Each structure stands twice: as C-alpha cells, then as structure tokens.
Amino acid sequence: MDKIQLQKRTKEFAKRVFKLTDRLSYSQASKVITYQLLKSASSVAANYRAVNRAKSDDDFTNKLKIVLEEADESNFWLTFISDIELLKQDDDELLFLIKESDEFIAIFTAATKTMSLKKPQPKSQSRKS
C-alpha cells in the first residue's frame, strides 16, 4: 500500500467514525466518548497527511508516532463503545472500524520500528585500561 492509498484510507476511517457517532444515542457518556473519538479518528487522518510532508527522517518518525498514538486512542474508544454496549456488539460498522484501527496500529508500529532501525545508532566508546 503506498502513501496515497494509506492517506485515503485514514481519511475514510475518519469519515466512517463521524458517521458512526451520529448513530449513538445522546447521553452524557456518549457525549464524552463521541468528542474523544472524533478528535482521535480525525487526528489519524490529519496527522498521517502531515507525515507525508515531513522535513526530515526525525520529523517523519515523530509525526508517525503521533498517528500511532491517535490510532490506538481511536481503537480504545471504539472498543469502549462495544464494551459498554452503546451499539450492539455485533454492529458491522463498529466491528469494521475496530478492525481498521487494529490494522492502523500494526501498520504504524511497523513503520516506526523500521524508522528506528534506519536511524544510525550511537557508537559506544570503549575505555583502554
């Protein structure tokens, strides 16, 4: 999957989360969850877009870590919706979005590991006795 496809995929994820939250019944609990989920899901898309405009490898890695954190937070809120049964546990869209956020976590974890391997490691200094 290239960066353009992943950019489209993260944006589609955010759009689908926005539509999903419209289906939640209004309550104080859903209000909090909706706010947090909307922020994290849209942040996955917006920050992944920023990843592709990074000015250096370090900038790229830092932005990628933000995307990973936001994908993980989105996953938390989506599974929390399922756990407290704000939607039926077998809701197809909710299950899809949980799976999608799991895949984003895997993709962005692998990418950050790859970037850390790419970074030159500091040389250890040995002492002569």
Cα–Cα distance, 81 to 99 (Å, whole number): 14
Q: Quote the pTM value.
A: 0.88
Q: Is 89 exposed, middle or buried (0-12, 13-18, 19+ CB in 10 A)?
A: exposed
Q: Is the pLDDT of residue 89 over 90?
A: no
Q: What are the DSSP calls for the chain, one per residue?
A: --HHHHHHHHHHHHHHHHHHHTTSPP-HHHHHHHHHHHHHHHHHHHHHHHHTT-SSHHHHHHHHHHHHHHHHHHHHHHHHHHHTTSS-TT-HHHHHHHHHHHHHHHHHHHHHHHHHHHSPPPPPPPPP-
Average confidence (pLDDT) over 29-36? 96
Q: Kindly indicate the confidence band of residue 118, based on its pLDDT and cuts at 50, 70 and 90.
A: confident
- Residue 78's contacts (CB-CB under 8 Å, 6 or more residues apart) are 17, 37, 94, 97, 98, 101
What pLDDT is stored for residue 116 in this prediction?
Answer: 87
